[in-house]
Amino acid sequence: MDLTSYSLEDLILAAIKSEQESHDIYTRIAQSVENGLMIDKFQFLAKEEVKHKHYVEQLYHKQFPDKTLTLPSKTPVPLPEINLPENEDVSLSDLIEQAMEAELAAHDFYLGLSDRFDDTTIKHMLHYFADMETGHYKILEQEQQSLKWFEQSDVYWPMVHAGP
C-alpha cells in the first residue's frame, strides 16, 4: 500500500480510528451470535484491536508530544470499513467477508506505515502488527468456511433418510 501521499499524523490517526472501529464491530458481532466458540473468537479479536490501538496511541504521543490526540470523523486514508447497520439484518457471512477484507487491508497498511519509520523498534512492531492482521484474517477465514459448511449442511433433502 503506497502511503507516501499522506502525512504521518493522518496515518497514525487512521490506524487508531481503524482499530477502534474494528473493536466495536467485533464486540457487536460477539454480542449477536449464539455459538460460544464464535463468541470467544470475536471477543479475542476485539481485545486484539484494543491492544493495537493502545500501542498506536502511544506512538502518536511519541511522534506528536505537543498535540492532543483527536480522531477525525473521517480519515483521508482509504481503509475499508465494515458496514454493520444498526437496525438491519446483515448476514454473518457478509460481515465476516467484510472483516476479512479489512484485515487484509490492515496488513498492507501496517507494512506501508512501517516504511515511514527509521526506528527499527517501531518498524519491527508494525511488521508484527501486519503479521497479526494476517492471523486475524485466517481466524475469520476459518469461521467463514465453517459457516458455509453449516449453511450447506443445514439443507433438508426430502427422503434423504428413507429406507429401501
CA separation for the pair 49, 57 (Å, rounded) = 12
Averaged pLDDT of the chain? 86
pLDDT of residue 112: 94
Q: What would the grid cell of residue 156 be?
A: 433438508
Does residue 4 surpass a pLDDT of 80?
yes
User: Does residue 115 lie within any of the structural domains?
Assistant: yes
Q: What is the CATH number of the domain that holds 138?
A: 1.20.1260.10
Domain containing residue 131: 8-68+90-151
User: Does residue 85 lie within any of the structural domains?
Assistant: no
User: Does residue 24 lie within any of the structural domains?
Assistant: yes
> Which pLDDT tens digit goes with each residue over 104-116?
999 999 999 999 9
Q: How many domains does the chain have?
A: 1
85 against 26, higher pLDDT: 26
Does residue 153 surpass a pLDDT of 60?
no
User: Does residue 82 lie within any of the structural domains?
Assistant: no
